[in-house]
């Protein structure tokens, strides 16, 4: 296999787990995130297995995707696998935060993902067995929730985006997959300030980042468009898909209220 796997948001959580899994499979890496110290530590850990390049990027900047791709080209590297993992959550209802907070969020979650994919797709197609793994969320497959005004919709975009990319690029051997994990142990909830609340959830609802990474990579290699890791979430997804929309929305509204009260 030629070409590298570019993993955005690789400094921690699911992104770091995906990088480790690709390294275990012998795939050379390009790691990108804002926190260079974290990236360098991970790169040092993995360089005994594969070649690793580190490129810092803050994808909330509109100029970052182009600059990242230009640096990849300057270093003479080719991308065969793109993992759009960089992301975070903005807790609270829509009007709680200022517009700059929402604009930065949309740039990272939609703008950067779309532009990186557009810029790197020619290289991915040229490899003959290219892969695009978009890290979405189980929230994308559920009815909208109070307090997830933008998070769930942008994650749903990644699902439809992956489906369209799969259809458009199948003739060149490219597989695109939306990875839709539920609650996963990582720094995500520490960053959003919801760790105490999340710790009250049943253990069966929590996934390990390593398991999520393996499920996503296995899924994109098999050409699956949507991957839902974990038996609990697979079962829940099947149930929700067969509920009438009005019932599902009422169920989500009731549970959203419980979370807010907590």
Buried b (16+ CB within 10 A) or exposed e, 128-150: eebbbbbbbbbbbbbbbbebbbb
User: Is pTM beyond 0.85 here?
Assistant: yes
- Model confidence pLDDT, tens digit, residues 131-189: 999 999 999 998 877 888 999 999 999 999 999 999 999 999 999 999 999 999 765 54
33 half-sphere exposure, CB direction, 13 A CA radius = 25
- Model confidence pLDDT, tens digit, residues 74-127: 999 999 999 999 999 998 899 999 999 999 999 999 999 999 999 999 999 999
Ordered domains of the chain (ranges, CATH): 4-261 (3.40.50.720)
- Cα separation, 138 vs 147, in Å, equals 15
Catalytic residue numbers? 151
On whether the CB atoms of residues 144 and 239 are closer than 8 A, the answer is no
């Amino acid at each position: 296999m030629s070409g590298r796997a570019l993993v955005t948001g690789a400094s921690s959580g699911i992104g770091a787990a995906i990088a480790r899994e690709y390294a275990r499979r012998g795939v050379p890496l390009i790691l990108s995130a804002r926190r260079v110290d974290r990236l360098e530590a991970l790169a040092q850990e993995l360089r005994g297995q594969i070649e690793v390049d580190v490129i810092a990027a803050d994808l909330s900047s509109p100029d970052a995707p182009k600059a990242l791709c230009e640096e990849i080209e300057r270093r003479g590297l080719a991308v065969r696998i793109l993992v759009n993992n960089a992301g975070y959550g903005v807790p609270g209802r829509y009007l709680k935060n200022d517009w700059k907070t929402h604009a930065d969020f949309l740039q990272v979650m939609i703008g950067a993902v779309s532009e990186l994919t557009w810029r790197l797709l020619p290289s991915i197609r040229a490899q003959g067995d290219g892969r695009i793994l978009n890290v979405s969320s189980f929230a994308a497959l559920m009815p909208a929730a109070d307090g997830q005004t933008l998070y769930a919709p942008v994650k749903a975009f990644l699902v439809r985006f992956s489906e369209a990319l799969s259809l458009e690029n199948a003739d060149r051997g490219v597989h695109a997959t939306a990875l839709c994990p539920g609650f996963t142990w990582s720094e995500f909830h520490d960053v959003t300030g919801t760790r105490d609340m999340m710790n009250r959830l049943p253990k069966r609802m929590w996934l390990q980042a390593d398991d999520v990474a393996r499920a996503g990579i296995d899924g994109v290699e098999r050409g699956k468009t949507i991957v839902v890791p974990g038996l609990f979430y697979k079962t829940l997804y099947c149930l929700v898909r067969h509920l009438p929309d009005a019932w599902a929305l009422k169920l989500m509204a009731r549970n959203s209220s419980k979370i807010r009260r907590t």
